[in-house]
Amino acid sequence: MTILSVATTVAALGHVSDVAT
């Protein structure tokens, strides 16, 4: 997993948490 891949995953999870809240 590349740094970019990790950053993208974290951003996506953060977005999902935002919407779910």
Buried b vs exposed e over 1-21: b needs ≥16 C-beta within 10 Å? eeeeeeeeeeeeeeeeeeeee
Q: Which amino acid does the sequence have at 16?
A: V
| Global pTM value | 0.44
For the cut 80, the answer to whether the pLDDT of residue 21 exceeds it is no
Q: What is the pLDDT of residue 20?
A: 80
How much is the average pLDDT of 1-21? 89
Q: What is the pLDDT of residue 17?
A: 85
For the cut 80, the answer to whether the pLDDT of residue 1 exceeds it is no
